[in-house]
């Protein structure tokens, strides 16, 4: 039977399987942080359960997650309980770390990671073990469940916030690249979901209904944010893994990038030409490869977007480079916009395919579609200036009288 599957010569190609994930965001445009917004985001996610997928076990999901702003007051309280103090918001970074289950391997990874933290000019403030509850998870998810901790660091010298964000980016990329080289068996086990002074990602190989119960942090009234991006995963071109759940550091992506192999090959070919005034030569070397190995198409997209943004471009600028409109034959397009697309077409090929993307850097939040609108989204704005975007309508019960 195995030989017959391996030698299949039919027209069926498993790599071309397609379906749609669930994506969404909710944001208070006045910047008012609240736990209610987190609760509403998790309700939206739960209501997109049909968008996600599971294996033979109904309680082992393809992936679910949430990206929020740093809940500083919550973290300050929890870190104090853990025995260390946090500086003011914006003066430290927090990483969401997946460590290997094996205690010996985890210890080796932690020691190596701590060395990198020191070498990259950071002071280790401490680790916090993230409370988790895997009681409702299926065997498939539990068998590969990582040990999840949060690491808190601050720069050894005073630097501006965006410089801090860039240095955290270098530390994360360098640590992942090198620890995977030193300990090849940790490729799926050592991972940083996020490492930022602005945002944090809670995710895993979960169903949408499991995220809230798996991470008790998300149920705390002290956990507040003005922005939340959510994702329910339907794994199409990669096997479900804890690290491949979304959101990634900037985006939640619904769709497929049909040009992904060409995009990755082109980026790899151009990598030696990369220059940035925001990263010195040593830092640029530590960042490569920009696209990490064994990524999903969404993960590769997020890697490139992150580099473009941290290299000085705004998020709208970077996204318009990567997902341009169908500008070539549009006679009604303004000249300034046509010139923008024409110029950038010489720098980068489009990342093409049906896509609906929600994105945030912790300050700016938004959503965009592919050039043909093949993965449409719905949005509404309420009278209290709350923006809700999702891959479908009706994900959150809203009184029609409050909708603008």
CA distances from 362 to 27, 87, 189, 323, 389 (A): 10, 19, 26, 21, 16
Number of other residues whose CB lies within 10 A of the CB of residue 213:
17
Helix (H) or strand (E) holding 301: helix 297-310
Q: Which of 5, 21, 54, 193 is catalytic?
A: 21
Q: How far apart are CA 158 and CA 88, in angstroms?
A: 13
Number of other residues whose CB lies within 10 A of the CB of residue 277:
7
Q: Is 177 exposed, middle or buried (0-12, 13-18, 19+ CB in 10 A)?
A: middle
Q: How far apart are CA 165 and CA 174, in angstroms?
A: 14
Active site residue 21: yes
CA distances from 45 to 42, 67, 305, 337, 396 (A): 5, 12, 24, 35, 9
Please write down the long-range contacts of 341-344, taking CB distance under 8 Å and 24 or more positions apart: 344/320
Q: How far apart are CA 188 and CA 241, in angstroms?
A: 8
Q: How far apart are CA 333 and CA 19, in angstroms?
A: 32
Tell me the backbone φ, ψ of residue 134, rounded to 5 degrees. Answer: -95, 15
Q: How far apart are CA 247 and CA 208, in angstroms?
A: 13
User: Which residues are identified as catalytic?
Assistant: 21
């Amino acid at each position: 039977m195995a030989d017959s599957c391996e030698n299949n010569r039919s027209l069926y190609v498993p790599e071309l399987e397609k379906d749609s994930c669930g994506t969404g965001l909710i944001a208070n445009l006045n910047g008012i942080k609240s736990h209610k917004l987190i609760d509403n985001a998790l309700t939206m996610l739960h209501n997109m359960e049909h968008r996600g997928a599971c294996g033979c076990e109904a309680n082992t999901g393809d992936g679910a997650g949430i990206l929020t702003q740093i809940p500083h007051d919550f973290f300050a309280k929890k870190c104090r309980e853990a025995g260390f103090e946090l500086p003011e918001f914006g003066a430290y970074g927090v990483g969401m770390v997946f460590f290997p289950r094996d205690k010996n391997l985890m210890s080796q990874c932690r020691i190596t990671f701590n060395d990198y933290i020191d070498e990259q000019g950071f002071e280790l403030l401490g680790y916090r073990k993230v409370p988790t509850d895997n009681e409702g998870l299926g065997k498939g998810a539990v068998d590969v469940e990582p040990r999840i901790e949060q690491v808190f660091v601050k720069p050894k010298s005073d630097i501006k916030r965006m410089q801090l964000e860039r240095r955290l980016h270098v530390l994360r990329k360098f640590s992942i690249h090198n620890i995977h080289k030193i300990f090849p068996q940790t490729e799926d086990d050592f991972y940083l979901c996020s490492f930022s002074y602005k945002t944090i990602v809670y995710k895993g190989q979960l169903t949408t209904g499991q995220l809230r119960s798996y991470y008790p942090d998300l149920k705390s009234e002290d956990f507040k944010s003005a922005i939340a991006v959510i994702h329910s995963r339907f794994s199409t071109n990669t096997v479900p893994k804890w690290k491949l759940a979304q959101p990634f550091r900037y985006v939640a992506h619904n769709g497929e990038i049909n040009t992904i192999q060409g995009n990755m090959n082109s980026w790899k070919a151009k990598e030696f030409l990369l220059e940035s005034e925001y990263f010195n030569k040593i830092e640029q070397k530590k960042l490569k490869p920009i696209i990490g190995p064994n990524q999903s198409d969404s993960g590769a997209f997020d890697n490139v977007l992150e580099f473009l943004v941290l290299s000085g471009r705004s998020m709208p600028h970077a996204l318009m480079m990567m997902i341009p409109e169908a500008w070539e034959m549009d006679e009604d397009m303004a000249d300034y916009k046509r010139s923008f697309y024409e110029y950038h077409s010489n720098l980068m090929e489009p990342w093409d395919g049906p896509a609906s993307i929600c994105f945030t850097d912790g300050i700016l939040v938004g959503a965009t579609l592919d050039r043909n609108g093949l993965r449409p989204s719905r949005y509404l704005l309420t009278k209290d200036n709350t923006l809700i975007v999702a891959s479908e309508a009706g994900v959150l019960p809203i009184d029609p009288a409050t909708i603008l």
